Chain A
């Protein structure tokens, strides 16, 4: 049986998100001769011009889909799946995908595997590898049925393989009834405020995580950053604690950075953090837990305590 794959496109403000290109590239590889379609929920059909890797774009157009809305988009995706009957639906394990994947699993009665970082098809069955327990464990799941949904962690596949100049056929899918009568209304997008420092523009970043323990220890890391000619950025909990501004957050819901040097102090290496920095050229991780997932990804690592190592480092660099 050949695979017939449906990729769920994500777009914000008229721009197709990178995750869509990741999924299209992987989808093309898995589709063999079975066909690759994209579900485009809302957005103009002109977005199809960016989705040339697919054979067909299944477009649902309706005012209630203009911007992502978890309720209306879930209903529209259900209609697309119903019509396309794919053997595999690929959706991002993103903020948007987290609202859509389970809804589609329930509506279209399809099995779901989430947090995937890899997918293969063996003898017609989809096998997905999920990254669990903050990156400490992987699980390979077989989808027992002929069709299913896999939600994929961003950064798992290259985006280049999903881009193409080709123009796919656009097929209009009728919007399901009831999109206007929903209980969730999109009100607007809120852009982040610019900060004092743009961490995406720096070649050297010192990244601080929960291992720093409290706000009073942040200056210690700032001194190191200054000695290195760089700036401080952080994992999410540091920002949630309001120890550093949101503009310093690296990761899934923060910024993507690609510095030359990324020194990590007390960060475990959760997938949501890795998503923002795994392309850094040189990653050096300081973490007292020798089983911390970060040691799988870093180039160099040490289990030395931050509070012993950082002063010694700063002193040598000043």
Chain B
């Protein structure tokens, strides 16, 4: 089974996010990027499928800060190919990225595309869904289990999709598909820094220049904003002991 995994670098959510002067996007100059956590799950699941059934794993990413590191890390974990796509604007909408990835797929022999289930930084739905519609193959999102049903050369997959309340649906997929991975069968593996360094010396990333894609989303951001400070929680200050005293008092009052 040959699997393609498009991965995304997203702003680090543990840092403070600022809005630009226009008030229509993030101030991107000082953002630090890291791999979207669900992409790590997609890579892990792809590697698990390859280890069980053979085939290859190809990881794709648009060029951003940190793209090289993310791609080398994927190689260090066991991916066979890592391709960096240049020439796509950071603020490009998901559907533009989807078009670019579909173009890249043209030269790749693939059976399955695994994406992360979602990324927190865009407003126009899932890349996997856009790709599937453009490729005219099915898409299933919120997937937390993938099994190949009849051995290595099989093109049948048993896929579990999560609904609310812990309920899951299972589907059989024959032929190509795009799956949005919520959780891999085990937590994503870790690539030791020494191994990543070694790969950086031994391997080179493949590079593709994106064709121009002209995409109009039909929507315009007129305002981006962070929630008003001070509207939410009453913040408790002081030493750990003082705060503990306050919390105990608040809870006692509530319990009555």
Contact = CB atoms under 8 A, between A and B. Distances in A.
Interface of A: 12, 17, 67-71, 94-96, 98-99, 101-103, 105-107, 110-115, 127, 130, 132-145, 148, 151, 154, 182-192, 228, 236, 240-241, 246-247, 249, 252-256, 260-261, 263, 268, 281-285, 289, 291, 293-305, 308-309, 312-313, 315-317
Given A12-B167, A105-B125, A187 B158 contact: yes
B225 A102 contact: no
A149 to B, nearest CB: 9
Nearest to A276: B164
Interface in B144-170: 158, 160-170
A253 B164 contact: yes
Interface in B205-242: 217-227, 231-237, 240-241
Given A184-B171, A185-B171, 18 more contacts: A70-B171, A94-B163, A98-B118, A101-B129, A102-B129, A102-B133, A133-B13, A136-B17, A136-B226, A144-B220, A183-B175, A187-B172, A240-B187, A247-B166, A295-B233, A298-B232, A300-B250, A309-B243
A304 B120 contact: no
Give chain A's interface secondary structure class: mixed
A48 B180 CA distance: 31
A124 to B, nearest CB: 15
A141 B221 contact: yes
B101 interface: no
Contacts of B14: 289
Interface residues of B, number: 80
Given A140-B221, A299-B234, A192 B166 contact: yes
Nearest to B249: A316
Contact of B133 (A106, A136, A281): A106
A304 B240 contact: yes
Contacts of B122: 114, 132
B77 interface: no
B165 A113 contact: no
A298 B231 CA distance: 10
Contacts of A151: 125
A141 B24 CA distance: 10
Q: Which 8 A-B pairs have the closest CB atoms?
A: A111-B218, A192-B166, A102-B129, A301-B233, A106-B133, A296-B232, A312-B244, A298-B233
Residue from B14, B117, B187, B227 whose CB has the most chain A CB atoms within 10 Å: B227
Interface string B32-45: 00000000000000
